Amino acid sequence: MASSANISFILRSHIQQRQDPAVLVNAVLAFSAFLRWTRPNGDLLEMLLSASMNALGQHAKARCLQSLGDILLLQDQHQKAQLKLEEAHLVFIDIGDRLGAAQCLRSVGNILRVQNQYTEAWLKLEKAQLIFTDIGDRVGAAQCLRSLGNILRMQNRYEEARLKLEEARSIFIDTGDRLGVARCLQLLSIILRVRGQYEEALLKLEEARSIFVRIGDRLGVA
């Protein structure tokens, strides 16, 4: 904890002194990413964006805004997160960074999804999925498919949801993303349960639990 405080102090000092903001970007992004696993905090990113906005390149600015939006999302500050991610999305579009733009669309889509704004969420996630597919990011596409399947599940469109989730699960298996596989299995088990297919639901949950155990995801196991 003391080490984190020391690193934060050093980075703050450099930002206040406006010492080559472009060089600071990677350090602040890396440290902010580390804090996500302990105490998510976007203060340094806010400070960097405020103090060095004119000196930051467009790509650096977009990355900082995206990271800040992701952190705000972890803190359940959905409205603020959405604003930052939408701002980052516009910058990524301007500079032709399709991957960054798709990542922001996916995040905004998921924010809208948890707020039950399903129509708007669907449009964002479907657009992000198309971009991920076009640029060859299969995991990104699968994550969008899983979210789309979840929207369909929430709308009681169970067969359509199952097809989306099975497609996502297949991609996660092909790409070796075991966490993605386990999360799809969880959602599929819910569909089976509400349909009264309890034995099949139990099998999906047991398979998901086994994966969570192997990858050390204690929350998933619970």
CA atoms within 13 A on the CB side of 96: 0
pLDDT the model gives residue 21: 66
pLDDT the model gives residue 152: 98
The Cα–Cα gap between 129 and 111 comes to 16
pLDDT the model gives residue 150: 97
**Regions in the chain scoring below 70 on pLDDT:** 1-2, 14-23, 52-55
Q: Report residue 212: phi and psi, to 5°.
A: -60, -40
Apex 67 CA angle, 141 and 132, nearest 5 = 15
97-222 has CATH 3.40.50.40 classification: no
For the entire predicted model, the pTM comes to 0.87
pLDDT the model gives residue 78: 95
Q: Which long-range contacts (CB under 8 A, 24 or more apart) does 112-117 make?
A: 112/82, 113/147, 113/150, 113/151, 114/78, 115/78, 116/154
Q: Where are the alpha helices (DSSP H) in the chain?
A: 2-16, 21-35, 43-52, 58-74, 78-95, 98-114, 118-135, 138-154, 158-175, 178-194, 198-215, 218-221
The Cα–Cα gap between 206 and 83 comes to 39
pLDDT the model gives residue 20: 66
pLDDT the model gives residue 53: 56
The b-or-e profile of 33-47 (16+ CB within 10 A means b, else e) is eebeeeeebbebbee
In total, the chain counts a number of residues equal to 222
- Cα dist. 204→154, 155, 168, 180, 200 in Å? 19, 21, 15, 14, 6
